[in-house]
Amino acid sequence: MQRIVPFLLVLFVLMPVSELFSQDYDRIRRELRERQTETNQEIRTLQQLITQYEQEIRQTDDQYESLYQEFQELEREISVRDAIIRSLQTQGRQINEEMNVIQREIRTNRDDLERLIETYQASLTYLYKHGRVPELAYIFTSGSFNQMLVRSFYLQRFQEQRERQAAAIEEKQEELRVKEEELAGAREDVNRNLAQTRTAREGLSETRRRQDQTIVRLRENREQTQQKLEDSRRAVQNLNNILNNTIAELERVQREEEERIRALEAERLRRLAEARRIQDAAEREREVARYSEPVTRTSSAPTREALAVLELSFVRSKGSMRWPVTGVITQEFGYRINPVSRTRIPSPGIEITADEASSVYAIHDGYVSQIYRGVPDFGDMIIIKHGESYYTVYTNFSNIQAVQDMYVREGDIIGQSGTRTSERGSTLYFMVRRSGADSNLNPVEWIRKQESATR
């Protein structure tokens, strides 16, 4: 009895501990797989955009217009190819993380398997030295019936433990085989990712080569190119003028409405005070009741208090708002150097290239202050007010669903982005503005940061 009990205690101490870690491994791998699925979807979307641009380039007819359109589409295609390379690099990092997790699991499983085998070998060694006869003799030489039952119980538990050990070894060997297959699959994913990245880089190099050729041809038509650039500048200035005038008018109407309400309320209070001084009780009661209700606005315009709350929410959400459309930024905010003329071209917002007629969303709660149709070079436009000072501007719609003066919430669909026949093709041009002339803000600082182009 004294020799068996310590040995059984050793067996229980040597039980595998991998169960403590398997849940963490599964959770980490599940998260990595989910991230890889998102990245794969981004890559497929970007590939579709590239195919779309290549088709659009082939379908243009007029010699110069075709050439300039090709230049613009190639500029967007380069941006998309850059984005797909970034997505592939992200995917590569995710696969490497997954491989590290699998390799740690394999090491843990091998350690557990070695401990199980060592424990099982110890059990077999014990049986080899003592055999079944000593076990029976050990039972029958008991000093009492109770002692015989105790010895029989421990011997039975010992046999069950050996059976569990054998089953655990088989299970751990199967787990190890599965993990090694997963590691082999992850290595294949790495090789596939490297091949896709190499192909994407080759495609980017080819697109840039074609763009260089297009730029050379455009420079040969410098006069027409310069006219295009001037038209572009005028379109941007026209857009800014429209926004400046619209916002100034909206704020003027807001001020006049507030002044009207204040004047009416002051007059009500004056008359209420006079009514309270009337001697006749019945007339006094009638007149006091007449002027007791505060003046309320009759228009649908929001109150100053409502706008203040809305603006505070908008400012606090800076950097975390949703994208207005799913796509790729193909024109950044600010000035950029035109590769044809080598001159600076202004961009008061960002251009997001998306699938044709993609849903366009309000990035934050607000009021649809104005809807314009047919702004030159920008198409149909929606202005949403997010407080007393802040506005978002969405242009180049193929269809508008929003209605003037309606209240929209973050994520509400306000229309569909452009198509190939729209002013700016299959894009959405998006701006963030603050009150004041030409107070354009960088939209990228207000929307959520994304590692890659789409979500």
Give 321's strand partners. Answer: 447
Give the pLDDT band of residue 417 (cuts 50, 70, 90): very high
Burial of 272 (0-12, 13-18, 19+ CB in 10 A): middle
- pLDDT, one tens digit per residue, over 17-69 is 444 445 555 666 666 667 667 666 766 776 677 666 666 655 544 556 666 77
- pLDDT on residue 452: 39
**CA–CA separation, 53 and 74 (whole Å):** 8
Sign of CA dihedral 180, 181, 184, 186: negative
- pLDDT on residue 445: 95
Calculate the alpha carbon distances from 14 to 71, 157, 170 in Å.
70, 15, 17
Q: Which residues of 289-316 are buried (b: 16+ CB within 10 A; e: fewer)?
A: eebeeebeeeeebbeeeebeebbeebee
Cβ atoms of 272 and 294 within 8 Å: the answer is: no
Burial of 380 (0-12, 13-18, 19+ CB in 10 A): buried
**CA–CA separation, 99 and 83 (whole Å):** 24
Mean pLDDT of 72-89: 78
- pLDDT on residue 403: 92
Residue 418: which of 375, 379, 392, 362 has the closest Cα?
379
Residue 103: which of 28, 34, 195 has the closest Cα?
28
Cβ atoms of 172 and 109 within 8 Å: the answer is: yes
For 39, what's the count of Cα atoms within 13 Å in the CB-facing half-sphere? Answer: 21
Give the pLDDT band of residue 70 (cuts 50, 70, 90): confident
Give the pLDDT band of residue 102 (cuts 50, 70, 90): confident
Mean pLDDT of 417-429: 90
Mean pLDDT of 337-349: 74
